[in-house]
Amino acid sequence: MSKIQHDRTHHAKMATGIGDPQCFRGKAGTPKFKEGDRVRIKDLPDIFYTRTMVYTRGAVGTVAKLVYESPAAEDEAWDNTDKPEWFYSVVFKQKELWPEYSDLYANDTLETEFPERYLESA
Amino acid sequence: MSDHDHKPAPMVDEISDFEILEMAVRELAIEKGLFSADDHRRWTEYVHTLGPLPAARLVAKAWLDPEYKKLAVADGVEASKAVGVDWVTSPPTQFGTPSDYCNLRVLEDTPKVKHVVVCTLCSCYPRPILGQSPEWYRTPNYRRRLVRWPRQVLAEFGLQLPTDMEIRVADSNQKTRYIVMPVRPEGTEGWTEDQLAEIVTRDCLIGVAVPKPGVTANTKRPVHPAVHPVHHDHNH
């Protein structure tokens, strides 16, 4: 939803003296996933803005940590901060992301974060 | 009639002519033995480092104090206060958000796990505790290749890791910023916090180098003579 009176400093004011993402703490409700859960990254439409990288879409990883609550970048880019959600740090085997990754280095991993909307149980 | 031959200009110039020239000369010099890839990495780090890094002190403190190490790994923002950095009230922008998010994770290396940090989105970097990011960190080259070929990219920095060591790439494309806490190197037994902080360089904190007494240093940077110096015979 667009703001009728758009205040460009709204975001900064909200976080001043508290921090971002700390200013959204306690606003996302009950997390859907927990540490150790296996999750698949959904390939959602991203017409305008996203921080969910293409190389992670469709891949299956493990939730390493619930990191903070925040609006998803897709919303926050438009100053829509009404619906914060849980963010998860997910670890992938490199082989899961890059099929040609050498079997010699089967232990190698990559860790990155996602808003809850991008995750489904795997 | 539509112009089928037209190709849109790329949005990002992937590499300039000068960069190609620099790479060609650098690689020839390394092949020729004038300096090593590790020498080059050290020099590049030197010219890009602006000042003493609070993050280096954080790592040194954590090496000496197991309780502080636990705090650093659990809550990087809280642990930063002990080295004079309050993410909420004093980021370099003096404007808390949104350019510097206030969530820091300290990634603890072990003898079997080596972390390295990248932002594939563009250039997310823990500026309040690590200063300005080096130029190479922001290049499409590093961002695109580190996630996919981490071992090869680290080797270009002069860091070769054993096959059985897990490399864990951290891609900071949301609100968390990362620093790496390397394993305390051998040969530092009995060292003070000041001595330890001196060997934890910026590259060690990003994860493209490991601290090593006599090699990595934040102070008293040595000038390394060329292995095979060039003699200017034409001057005689």
* Closest-CA distance of chain B to residue A11, Å: 7
CB contact under 8 A, A18 and B88: yes
Whether residue B102 lies in the annotated active site: no
* Closest-CA distance of chain B to residue A35, Å: 15
Q: Are B216 and B23 in contact (CB under 8 A)?
A: no
Segment A28-76, tens digit of pLDDT:
999 999 999 999 999 999 888 999 999 999 999 999 999 999 999 999 8
Per the domain annotation, does B45 fall within a domain? no
- Tell me how far apart the alpha carbons of residues B32 and B77 are, in angstroms, rounded to a whole number: 46
Q: Are A69 and A26 in contact (CB under 8 A)?
A: yes
Q: Is A96 on the interface with B (CB under 8 A)?
A: no
Per the domain annotation, does B26 fall within a domain? no
ipTM metric: 0.94
What are the CA-CA distances from residue B108 to residues A39, A113, B76, B199, B222 (Å)?
A: 24, 18, 11, 17, 29
Q: Between A5 and B110, name the one with better pLDDT.
A: B110
Q: Are B209 and B140 in contact (CB under 8 A)?
A: no
Q: How far is CA B115 from the centre of its chain?
A: 11
Looking at every residue in chain A, the average pLDDT score rounds to: 91
Query: What is the DSSP track for B144-207?
Result: HHHHH-HHHHHHHTT----TTSEEEEEE--SSEEEEEEPPPPTT-TT--HHHHHHH--HHHHHT
Per the domain annotation, does B125 fall within a domain? yes
pLDDT for the residue numbered B42: 74
Backbone angles phi, psi at B105, to 5 degrees: -115, 130
Beta strands in chain B (DSSP E): 103-108, 113-118, 166-171, 176-181
DSSP A103: G
Per the domain annotation, does B214 fall within a domain? no
Q: CATH no. for residue B158?
A: 3.90.330.10
Could you tell me the pLDDT band of residue A21, with boundaries at 50, 70 and 90? Answer: very high
Per the domain annotation, does B29 fall within a domain? no
Whether residue B122 lies in the annotated active site: yes
pLDDT tens, per residue, chain B with 236 residues: 455 566 666 556 677 787 888 899 999 988 988 778 887 887 667 556 645 688 999 999 999 999 999 999 999 999 999 998 888 875 544 444 445 788 999 999 999 999 999 999 988 888 878 877 888 999 999 999 999 999 999 999 999 999 999 999 999 999 999 999 999 999 999 999 999 999 999 999 999 999 999 888 776 666 677 777 777 665 54
> Mapping DSSP to helix (H, G, I), strand (E, B) and coil, where does residue B78 land?
helix
Instruction: State the residue range of the domain holding B153.
Output: 50-206
Q: Report the phi/psi class of residue B31: left, alpha or beta, with left for phi > 0 and alpha for psi in -120 to 50.
A: alpha
Q: Are A31 and A116 in contact (CB under 8 A)?
A: yes
* Closest-CA distance of chain B to residue A20, Å: 5
CB contact under 8 A, B164 and A107: yes
Q: Number of H helices and number of E strands within chain B?
A: 10, 4
At A50, the amino acid letter reads T
Per the domain annotation, does B33 fall within a domain? no
Cis amide prior to B98 (ω within 30 degrees): yes
Q: Are B60 and B197 in contact (CB under 8 A)?
A: yes
Per the domain annotation, does B80 fall within a domain? yes
Pairing type for strands A109-115 and A85-93 reads antiparallel
Among residues B51, B50, B75, B52, which one has the least CA distance to residue B62? Answer: B75
CB contact under 8 A, A110 and B166: no
If one counts the domains in chain B, the total is 1
Q: Is B161 on the interface with A (CB under 8 A)?
A: no
pLDDT for the residue numbered B170: 98
Per the domain annotation, does B195 fall within a domain? yes
Query: What is the DSSP track for A68-99?
Result: EEE--HHHHTTT--S--EEEEEEEEEHHHH-T
